[in-house]
Every structure is written in structure tokens, then in C-alpha cells.
Amino acid sequence: MTSQPDYYGVLRVRPTASQQEIARAYRALMRTHHPDLGDGAAEDRGDPYGGELLQIMQAFDVLRDPVRRTAYDRSRNRTAVGDAGPVAIPVRRVDRRAAPGRSTIRITPVRWESGPWAGP
């Protein structure tokens, strides 16, 4: 008997989460687990795409599609014994006011198509 993964638990959201909350949780988790952005712990174990990263991607793939999410919720409700409560995702707050004496660095998108090398 195979156990169905808890995609809401993987993304650390409530089962009643909106599409926007699911997308935000996915992006936040990808920032911490992606092999190009993380500490390289998965690569040290010989697994460049850690099992947790694949679970996050699979959970988002199911929960972002309303039809697949409804089917998942139905199968989950048939096998669920108890519902886990919401899990808090840590969020770093950034003070938008610049401290006195500090210069503000503004980052703008790079426009590769502009310049003398750009075509007509």
C-alpha cells in the first residue's frame, strides 16, 4: 500500500490556501532549496536535485492546477485521518527606509537589447 504525499505539508500551506499563497510558498521554498542558490548540501550527498526539491516541484505541479488539486483533495479526504494545522513560513522583513548615512542601492533590470550592438 503506497502512502500519498501531503503536498500541502511539503509547501507548508493550509489546505484552504489560495493559488496566490501556494505560488508564494513555492517561490520561497525554491529560493532556499534550489541547488544554484543554496549551500550545496544536496550536491555534497551526490544528489544535485535533492529529493526535497523534487517533492516541492511535484507538490506545486499538482496544487497549481485547479482540476488536479480538486482530484488530489478528494483522494486526500478519503484517506485522511486528521488534518494538520497550518505551518508558518518564516518571512524576512526588510526596512524600506534607508538608514542615515547609508546610500541606497537600486537594482534595475538589465536590458540586453539596447546599445550599439543591438539590431534595428
Question: According to the model, what pLDDT value does residue 119 have?
Answer: 60
- State the fold for domain 7-79: Helix Hairpins (1.10.287)
CA nearest to 57, candidates 31, 30, 35, 38: 30
Question: What are the structural domain ranges in the chain?
Answer: 7-79
Q: How far is CA 32 from CA 10, 39, 53, 95, in A?
A: 13, 9, 9, 21
Taking each helix axis from N to C terminus, what angle separates 51-63 and 66-79, rounded to the nearest 10 degrees?
Answer: 110
Cα torsion 2, 82, 25, 50 to 10°: value is -30
Q: How many CB atoms lie within 10 A of CB 46?
A: 6
pLDDT in tens, the chain (120 residues): 457 789 999 999 999 999 999 999 999 988 888 777 655 555 555 555 567 888 999 999 999 999 999 999 988 877 654 555 666 777 777 666 655 666 666 666 666 666 666 665
**pTM for the full predicted model:** 0.55
